[in-house]
């Protein structure tokens, strides 16, 4: 039986956030992903659409970072400030991709839980509407029979 609850990243947050240009953005996105399963049905469609766009941008930027498309700069203090360009090593790239993959898994799991909850809500709502419609039709049918019988009695 699957365990219900929030999915958590397999690797430490520091592993992926150390390769993120803006760790504040990483923390913000991670928090939003963790809150996905707790979204109310009213919030779900609006918030999920915005979050998907934000996550797609984040993942494509992280993919570029993990591929070594960006340099990191190291500043050393001492006699003067020096800038040194540094690309990720092979091991760092592998770790970066693994961390990104773990982040994507957490997103997929939490999105699944949120969608499942939302679909359950919609299903319950639609079943209620179906029951109401049935009751309305039965009431109309009952009232139709009563009015027909009254008209026949009055003709005699």
- Over its C-alpha atoms, the chain yields an Rg (Å, rounded) of 29
Question: Does domain 13-117 match CATH 1.20.58?
Answer: yes
At residue 149, does pLDDT exceed 90?
no
The dihedral region occupied by 71, where left means phi > 0, alpha psi between -120 and 50, and beta the remainder, is beta
Q: What is the pLDDT of residues 82-122, one digit of tens each?
A: 656 677 888 988 999 999 999 999 999 999 999 999 999 99
Domain residue ranges of the chain, discontinuous segments joined by + = 13-117
Better pLDDT: 107 or 145:
107
Distances (CA, A) of 71 to 5, 83, 118, 156: 38, 11, 42, 98
Q: What is the pLDDT of residues 38-58, one digit of tens each?
A: 999 989 998 999 899 999 999
Sorting pLDDT into bands at 50, 70 and 90, what band is 144?
confident
| DSSP assignment string, 1-57 | -PPPS----SS-HHHHHTT-S-HHHHHHHHHHHHHGGG--TTTHHHHHHHHHHHHHH
């Amino acid at each position: 039986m699957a365990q219900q609850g929030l999915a958590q990243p397999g690797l430490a947050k520091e592993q992926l956030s150390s390769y993120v240009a803006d760790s504040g953005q990483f923390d913000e996105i991670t928090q939003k992903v963790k809150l996905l399963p707790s979204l109310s049905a009213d919030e779900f469609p609006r918030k999920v659409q915005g979050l998907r766009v934000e996550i797609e941008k984040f993942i494509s930027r992280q993919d570029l970072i993990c591929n070594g498309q960006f340099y990191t700069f190291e500043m050393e203090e001492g006699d003067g400030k020096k800038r040194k360009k540094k690309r990720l090593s092979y091991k760092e790239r592998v770790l970066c991709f693994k961390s990104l993959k773990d982040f994507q898994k957490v997103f997929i799991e939490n999105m699944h839980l949120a969608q499942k909850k939302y679909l359950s809500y919609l299903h319950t709502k639609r079943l209620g509407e179906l029951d109401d419609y049935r009751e309305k039709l039965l009431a109309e049918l009952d009232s139709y029979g009563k009015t027909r019988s009254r008209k026949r009695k009055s003709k005699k």
